[in-house]
Amino acid sequence: MKINIAIDGPSAAGKSTIAKLLAKKLGYVHLDTGAMYRCTALKAKKEGIALDDEAGVCAMLEKTDITLTPEGEVFLDGENVSDAIRTDEISLAASAVSKMKKVREDLVARQQKMAEDKGFIMDGRDIGTVVLKDAEVKIFMTASAEARAMRRYLQNKEKGLPLSNVETIAEEIRQRDYEDTHRANSPLRKADDAVELDTSELTIDEVVAAMMRIVEPAIAGEKQG
């Protein structure tokens, strides 16, 4: 029997990168729930629905298909939007729609259905606290704002994107942390039964190894049980 693994934490903590690597190692499927909020935002923008019109966004969502493939691609009503949802504009818009209670209810229901069969690593902000409350393993991944800013800076440099200085990026990250942890609906918080993993001083390989040490006993226990 497979288990479900919930990974939560603030933005830019490396959740998706690590979840992807871990999924590959374990033969599990990674589901990036942030991509679903991003798809909602992208379609609302395309259809000219205001980002404070909760009823409008919800009505739109009822007629929207979002598919996350096991290979990590994202399809919105059949169109591959894997890159289109990653712009700064859509990050901001996704943050706005993710505050809406009804939008969260719709997407959470979809996420719960997707993970019904086990064998999933789901990453987001509310996975351990709301979406998969009964996940066998819950990990809350953190890193200092400075470490996250440095990683983002290096990523942007590698992609040839325009560079802000590291302190400016750190300030934006602190602002987003504040918004994520203070919003009314499903604020970001560590589930009581989640293991906290601070990755500030760790390389990607070290984080994956630390995750494996947390996950393997749970998988072995499931096989025996």
Rounded to whole angstroms, the Cα distance separating 22 from 70 reads 13
Asked whether position 9 contacts ligand DC by CB under 6 A, the answer is: no
- Rank residues 54 and 222 by Cβ distance to ligand DC and give the closer one: 54
- Rank residues 171 and 222 by Cβ distance to ligand DC and give the closer one: 171
With contact defined as beta carbons under 8 Å apart, do 73 and 80 qualify?
yes
101-114 helix and 34-46 helix, angle to the nearest 10 degrees: 130
Specify the stretch interacting with ligand DC by CB under 6 A; choose among 30-38, 46-54, 136-144, 150-158. 30-38
Asked whether position 151 contacts ligand DC by CB under 6 A, the answer is: no
Asked whether position 177 contacts ligand DC by CB under 6 A, the answer is: no
Strand ranges (DSSP E) for 105-223? 120-124, 137-142, 195-198
Shortest Å, Cβ 172 to ligand DC: 12
CA proximity to 31, closest of 93, 107, 141, 134 = 107
With contact defined as beta carbons under 8 Å apart, do 8 and 124 qualify?
yes
Specify the stretch interacting with ligand DC by CB under 6 A; choose among 45-53, 66-74, 118-126, 143-151. 118-126
Q: What residues form DSSP beta bridges with 141? A: 197
Of the candidate residues 95, 147, 177, 207, the single one contacting ligand DC (CB under 6 A): 95
Which residues would be at the binding site for ligand DC (CB under 6 A)? 11, 33-34, 37-38, 94-95, 98, 124-126
